[in-house]
Structure 1
Amino acid sequence: MVVSLSSPLQKPDFYQSKRILLTSPILHIGSSVSQLNPFEYVQTDKKVYLPNQEALAKGLLSKGGSFFNNYIQAIEERQDITRLLKQAFGNEWWNAKDSNDNLIFPKEAISQKLTADKITDLRPMIRNGMGQLFIPGSSIKGAIRTAIAYHLLKHADRYQVPSSKRVSAIEQTLREKLGQFNPYQQKFLDDELFMNSLFSEFKLTYQDRNFAARGPNADFLRAIKVTDSQPLIEDKITNKKGQKIPINLAVVAEVIISSRFPDYLAKYKASIYAEMVRNVQTEFTLTLDTEMLSWFKHHKGMKLPFNNLDELLEICQEFTQEQWDYEHDYWQDIENNPRAAGKNLDFNYIREFYENEKCPYSLRLGWGSGMNGTTIDLLFTDELREKIRDNCGLKAPGFEAPKSRRTVMNSNGEIKFVPGWVKFKTLSN
């Protein structure tokens, strides 16, 4: 006999998924190449161009003569290729195509130049396989992991964090052993001290059976998936006032690295030039496998810090607020210095940026987040943070850690932007 049901059976939904709108004033996520050679980019007064190297080689070969050989020589001698491009393709070389009609300078590899200076040591932003700027899901998930670690250690009693992995025990170990580690050991020190225990010392219980797991298989963040963002393609949107606003604008900007003198007068350290994105607006998807999350049981009884995506996003917000408070206090103490080694270190815009007591952002990503955004160091005393910095980074005895900051100049030469702060807004599916 066949039983007819008036409504179909519903499969249990073990997944929570959110489409997230990510926005940011300015952002830089580094690529596998820390900086470009002079022959890998070309600059004019207003723009910076990154050539398709294969198309450029084909285009030069098609022109005959010694153009290709001169290009090889420029690469070997790390020379600028602007003159060569003008000779081979004319004054509008940026519109040149190769023998297969491919643009030598693709539109997605052209940035607005926000500085009148000659750019040196250009630091590129990460691109996907199509050459488009984007935000890797791994970058977002890495920041989320740090936020979770911070939350667990800050609320150790609530989650029954093992006593040997609490902040007091970590501090004691660091005080005893810091300085004894080689650079390789320093790189993975947080894993040994607490990260492995917080994330990977789990057994998996499935259908009342226990399974041994090691390494990545025992990491409870397996239950979280973060997609790469949609490509950061330049466009325009209409704001509430009916104005057209550009979004995802690729720029190359001067980044000021500054610190302070003992009297808190701002000190100029260096300028670097980076490919960045202004007015970021993109989407990514955050997914939680709630069934998988339920499999994880910590060996020493530690509780998991979240059960759903809303709780996870609250954890991120808490960590971001801690960073925001610290940065607010730092910039309130720094005094402008209009005569700092030829730079006008006027940080009024930066102080204005940090005016709100409540942080309006959800996370901090990529460049500029520094040791406070990529570690749990804000849980340590000021003195210990300084000791960690002096042993693992650039020494600055007697100064807070971190001592230096990165800020970004606009096209008018004003220090206007702080990189890395991003907002999340849940979109309806």
Structure 2
Amino acid sequence: MKLILDTVTPVHIGSGENIEPYEYVITDKFYKINLDKFIESLEEQDRNNFLEISAKNLVQARQFIKNKANLALIKEYTAKVSEEVRKTYNTKIIDPKSELSIQTFIKSMDKPFLPGSSVKGAIRTALLWYCAEKELQREYPHNIEQKLFKYKNPQDDPFRALKISDSGFIPEEKMQIYNIKTYTKRASLFNELGFNIFIEGTNAYFPDGKSEMVSFVHTLHLDDSLQKYNYLNIKLSPDIIIKACKEFYGALIANELEFFRGESAEGVYLELEKLKGLIKDKSNRFLLRIGWGSQFDGVTINLAMQNRDLKKSRKLINSKYPLGWILAEIK
């Protein structure tokens, strides 16, 4: 079977690595530079000046690179940037206290891709929630999973039967640098925390438009020989996956709509309403939420708890777009 995914809001699957401010330049777009090539490209006097400056003052080194770099010769790859990212970069590049590191997207052979494990994790969370007993009280996550699925060892995990391949590579022009800001809610008011987080993420329907959606094709396989019928409350099938995802991610959107209800977050609320509208029809399309920024409720079965944690912060792009939403279809 094929699993077709389209990005609705930007997705970031982190690699665990950062690009430091002296390793990139932002002008018309983002340029990841090869520092060794930059040094080699300099005339002897400039090279000596740069080595002396970089040993003493990283802020001046950033400015030196920005002013002297021949980007066509030393770039490793590029990505689009929003006007907000460009303005933040130009303002903060001269601030010694600023953190302008960029969290990188997971890559293979230096090219970004969507891991099947991330997609499987999103489906797994939906199935866990779908199977959760309503009277389930708060327990440690690993105990919850074992209670729901009645397995004792990892090798007995019924999700071994669900196999999802990695995607192909994401084209360079479909990647973008985003500025993520964190917002907290007190009473009905939202406050922006005063720091920026730069990430590499995919283009998406929101905020870029339908033509900028990134499409992924994965292979989805259910291995009947690995299904432990006596452990599971359900037998895995495409229909069960679709039903569980529709119900869980529908509940998640409803929870987010309630969180953002109010005049101070009207922009986010309206975008979530649009997101909800994508799955109003009776087709087999369903939503997933994957990657960094999916928030606690999106990666746990917290919504099934009677005494659930109520998280009071959210990460947003452009003050209104949540991360990680994907439209999916099994064919």
The 3 A distance-change label for structure 1 pair 329 and 62 is closer
> What residue is the counterpart of 2:81 in the other structure?
112
Amino acid at match of 2:268: I
Say whether the 8 Å CA contact 2:14–2:106 is kept in structure 1.
no
> What residue is the counterpart of 1:81 in the other structure?
62
SS in 1 for 2:239: helix
How far is 1:373 from its partner?
A: 0.4
How far is 1:228 from its partner?
A: 1.7
> What residue is the counterpart of 1:267 in the other structure?
191
Q: Which moved more, 1:323-332 or 1:140-149?
A: 140-149
Say whether the 8 Å CA contact 1:200–1:218 is kept in structure 2.
no
Amino acid at match of 1:229: S
Distance 2:314 2:101 in 1: 19
Matches within 5 A, 1:378-389: 378-381=303-306, 384-386=307-309
Say whether the 8 Å CA contact 1:21–1:424 is kept in structure 2.
yes
* Higher RCO structure, 1 or 2 (CA under 8 Å, sep 6+): 2
Distance 1:218 1:329 in 2: 38
Q: Aligned pair 1:307/2:236, yes or no?
A: yes
Structure 2, unpaired ranges of 5+: 93-98, 205-212, 280-285
Q: Which moved more, 1:321-330 or 1:217-226?
A: 217-226
How far is 1:404 from its partner?
A: 1.0
The 3 A distance-change label for structure 1 pair 39 and 200 is farther
SS in 1 for 2:65: helix
Among 95, 101, 118, the alignment partner of 1:122 is: 101
SS in 2 for 1:285: strand
The root-mean-square deviation of aligned C-alpha atoms, in Å, is 2.9
SS in 2 for 1:350: helix
Say whether the 8 Å CA contact 1:363–1:422 is kept in structure 2.
yes
Q: TM-score, normalised by structure 2?
A: 0.79
Matches within 5 A, 1:24-423: 24-33=8-17, 35-44=18-27, 46-52=28-34, 56-61=35-40, 63=42, 65=44, 67=47, 70=50, 74=54, 78-79=58-59, 80-84=61-65, 86-87=67-68, 89=69, 93-96=70-73, 104-107=74-77, 109-115=78-84, 116-118=87-89, 120-154=99-133, 167-168=136-137, 171=138, 174=139, 189-191=140-142, 193-198=143-148, 201=151, 214-215=153-154, 217-233=155-171, 248=174, 250-262=175-187, 264-272=188-196, 273-279=198-204, 280-294=213-227, 296-298=228-230, 302-333=231-262, 335-336=263-264, 347-355=265-273, 360=279, 362-381=287-306, 384-386=307-309, 401-409=310-318, 415-423=319-327
The 3 A distance-change label for structure 1 pair 315 and 69 is farther
The 3 A distance-change label for structure 1 pair 222 and 271 is same
The 3 A distance-change label for structure 1 pair 63 and 227 is same
Amino acid at match of 1:267: N
The 3 A distance-change label for structure 1 pair 231 and 131 is same
**Richer in helix (by share):** 2
Structure 1, unpaired ranges of 5+: 1-16, 97-103, 156-165, 175-188, 203-213, 236-247, 337-346, 387-400, 410-414
Distance 2:63 2:144 in 1: 51
The 3 A distance-change label for structure 1 pair 197 and 32 is same
Q: TM-score, normalised by structure 1?
A: 0.63
Deviations 1:323-358 (A, max 9, x none): 01100111113x32xxxxxxxxxx333121222666
Say whether the 8 Å CA contact 1:229–1:282 is kept in structure 2.
no
SS in 2 for 1:363: strand
Distance 2:48 2:127 in 1: 53
Say whether the 8 Å CA contact 1:122–1:275 is kept in structure 2.
no
> What residue is the counterpart of 2:282 in the other structure?
none
> What residue is the counterpart of 2:207 in the other structure?
none
Distance 1:130 1:293 in 2: 32
Deviations 1:76-130 (A, max 9, x none): 865443413644x4xxx2111xxxxxxx2133x3332431222543332313223
Distance 1:374 1:77 in 2: 41
SS in 2 for 1:49: strand
Distance 2:133 2:148 in 1: 12
How far is 1:292 from its partner?
A: 1.9
Distance 1:359 1:379 in 2: 24
The 3 A distance-change label for structure 1 pair 48 and 317 is same
When the two structures are aligned, how many residues end up with a matched partner?
303
Identity %: 23
Amino acid at match of 1:308: S
Say whether the 8 Å CA contact 1:362–1:423 is kept in structure 2.
yes
SS in 2 for 1:50: strand
